[in-house]
Amino acid sequence: MTSVALLGQILDHANRADPYPLYAELRGTPVVRDESGPYLVSTYWEIRSLLHDPRVSSDVRNLAPEARTVPSTDDPELPPSFIRIDPPDHDRVRRLIMRTYGPPHTPRRVYDLRGEIGGIVSALIDGFQGRDRIDLVKDFSYPFPVTVICRLLGVPQEDEQRFHGWADTVATAIEPPVGTPEDQQAHWRAVREARRQLATYLSGLIDQRRRAPRDDMISALTMDRGADESPMSLPEMLSNLTLLLIAGHETTVNLITNGMLTLLRHPDALKQLREDPDLIFPLVEELLRFEPPVQLLPERTTLDDIEIAGTTIPKGASLWLVPASGNRDPQRFPEPDRFIPDRPDNQHFGFGSGIHNCIGSPLARLEAQTALTELVRRLDNPRLVEDPPPYRRNAVLRGPQHLSIAYDGLRR
């Protein structure tokens, strides 16, 4: 059995700007056990197979206790969200959420946001007038998807200052912390407290919607009585609304910021997009492959011994899939380290695959397509001030913490 010591390097912030050489090294052995314990799977076809294998569980309660790399921070009074449970419970909760969000029950929820999304983008870019430099994250990539997810869920945007810190803290719980044992214990206490505060806040919104429903997802979930199955309990709603609020903006912040960074590093592609706005559709798919906002899928586990690529992963083992590595597997993608805006047959892992494929993908695609098209069209001679930019601590949700862009003016 081969063993490597790469997971610690991948999680090390010093490698955040360019983890891809580490992924290439991992792909030398498609399935390998890291010296810290988890099994790492880094090649495209093996990742795809496991994402569709019913013997792979997303429920950490099925993980052997000695195999855990991330301590539990769940509130014992709240169940896991639907991305952390397995069928049949996963299927029931996902269907209930989709009833409020997409076809066949609510087919126009996202489509009807198109005009509003365009207006938000235009207003944010108009705010750059009179300046010659912006921090794309602070001035655009963060406020844009936060505004959209608040509108969609029914969270008052003026409360953003209240939930911003809680959401950021909860998002750090998906990977092992760094520092001394005391630092790590303090981190987990902070995560538990942030989760509790966010649940209390969302519980208040649910109570408001019960008394006075509106045209939003919180109202729809609150009022849905489940025509074909039991409705969500209050604890289930709190867990899943926490997930939707955080995932609904965290990943899109990264997608837009990574996208603009990539375009500024590839001026020919930026010029192509400016001249042919319809290029945005394949281009966003290539961004999802080339610089995906979610790099790792940690802490899945096996419900049985699974043999794959000549290695047997034992039942109850910690399993980390590395979709960002699979997206650059030369066995699946020709010239995988090259950004090709109109790449054909681009079946990437940017939104996962299998039963946990991201339900927010239609909205994220629309947001990225609208944002990048308008940024490229309106910013005159945009250029990076710092490359590489400073990156966020999070290795799973990888993206720049700031992205300073200079430009010569705005086009109308």
Domains within the chain, CATH numbers bracketed: 3-410 (1.10.630.10)
pLDDT the model gives residue 72: 58
Q: Enumerate helices (H) and strands (E) in the chain, giving the number of each.
A: 15, 13
* CA dihedral sign, ordered 164, 217, 99, 241: positive
Output the six-digit token pair for 359: 């339900």
Of 332, 337, 363, give the one whose Cα is nearest residue 349.
332
Structure letter (DSSP) for residue 398: -
Tell me, rounded to whole angstroms, the distance of Cα 373 from its chain centroid.
Answer: 21
Peptide bond into 88 cis (omega under 30): yes
* pLDDT for res 1: 42
Burial class (CB in 10 A: 0-12, 13-18, 19+), 381: exposed
Q: Is 105 exposed, middle or buried (0-12, 13-18, 19+ CB in 10 A)?
A: middle
- Residue 171, pLDDT score: 87
Residue 43 is predicted with a pLDDT of 98
Question: Residue 150's closest CA among 241, 236, 233, 22?
Answer: 241
How far apart CA 37 and CA 313 sit, in angstroms, is 12
C-alpha angle with apex 18: 17 to 21, nearest 5 degrees?
A: 165
Full pLDDT tens readout for the chain, 412 residues:
456 789 999 999 999 999 999 999 999 999 999 998 999 999 999 999 999 999 999 998 999 888 877 665 556 678 999 999 999 999 999 999 999 988 888 888 898 999 999 999 999 999 999 999 999 999 999 999 999 999 999 999 999 988 989 988 998 888 777 777 888 888 889 999 999 999 999 999 999 999 999 999 999 999 887 666 788 999 999 999 999 999 989 999 999 999 999 999 999 999 999 999 999 999 999 999 999 999 999 989 999 999 999 999 999 999 999 999 999 999 999 999 999 999 999 999 999 999 999 999 999 999 999 999 999 999 999 999 999 999 999 999 999 999 999 999 999 8
Selection from 252, 228, 232, 243 nearest residue 198 by Cα: 243
pTM, rounded to two decimals: 0.94
